[in-house]
Amino acid sequence: MNPEEKNIVPNPVIAHFWRLFKTWDKTAIEGTSVYKKWNYRTMMFLIFGAFAGVMASQFRPVTEFDAFDIASRVFAVISTLLIAASSFAASEILTDELENNRTNSRSAAETLKAEIYLYVFKTGPYDTGTDDEKDELAFERLEKVRQATAEIPYLSFTDEINDYPDETMTIDSYIKERVSDQIRWYEKKSKTFQQELRKNKNRIYLFGFAGVVLGSIGAGTGYAEFTSVWIAFFTSASGALAAFVATNRYQPLLISYQKTALRLSAILAKFQKKASVDNESIKRFVAACEEEFARERTEWIQIFSEDSKDKKSDKEPKKTKGSDKS
């Protein structure tokens, strides 16, 4: 049967939840895209700003406004502008609000998706009661999502939807579309994060090594005045890269994704090993999978919440002896 044909008249509850999922998914994707772009740009502004500052110090003008003097002034202006742009982006674009909105949007989307599968298989909170009672419960649980996202502006999803989950979805379809697909996603993301972590750490080590070499050369040859500015550049570049890696949370995320993929694989293997499968075992399996997704989702939010708290504490003035505690 054509997927578009079977979803012409979807269950209104599923249709409502699925459109909300699409809405918050779209909002989360946009928020994450903005965050990643400006996080990268902030790092590059800082690195190139530091480089331009070094270049400004390398020109030795003979007279005022000769070619060397003009070049030095131009590089100094470029350095100032780039460093100012980096500082502006870090404080005015990469805000706690952007971070909270994108994480809460993603949480809302994944919560709604999980709710749909629990509803379809009548498991978890939907294991008992009449259809009307289950519908009422679904909207009660939806209200919690609404409250959590009440202050977040969202991007409306207006496209036609033809991929609603079917109320008669089989367990094989659930395994293929929900469990196996998500395991592959976790594994792919883990691999990508490992590569990014390794690549950026190598760059940090390279910059650090270059600084050490230049320091040795300067001390041993009497060119310390020349090498000191380049040591400062490599130190700044190394620090910018380290901050970039830290804010992307590669290490904790890849560990979380790897653990979740292994747990889901174990749950799936135990279910597929069963000699016979009845409706109750299917319900338990779906509930176990969705519980694992919920655990990973909570861990994901905590990872970024801790990062946001760290940044906030760095901005707050330190308490001095005798100051009032709020």
Q: What is the pLDDT of residue 215?
A: 85
Nearest residue to 260 via CA among 184, 198, 192:
184
pLDDT tens digits along 86-105: 999 999 999 999 999 999 99
pLDDT tens digits along 249-297: 999 999 999 999 999 999 999 999 988 889 999 999 999 999 999 999 9
Q: What is the pLDDT of residue 57?
A: 87
**Pseudo-torsion of CA 163, 169, 175, 180, nearest 10°?**
0
pLDDT of 38 strictly over 70: yes
pLDDT tens digits along 158-217: 888 888 888 889 999 999 999 999 999 999 999 999 999 999 999 999 999 998 898 888
DSSP annotation string for 144-184: HHHHHTTT-------S----PPPTT--HHHHIIIIIIHHHH
Mean pLDDT of 209-232: 83
Going from N- to C-terminal start, the domains of the chain cover: 10-155, 168-288+304-312
Q: What is the pLDDT of residue 9?
A: 57
Mean pLDDT of 313-326: 41
Which stretch of 112-116, 163-167, 227-231 has the lowest confidence by average pLDDT?
163-167
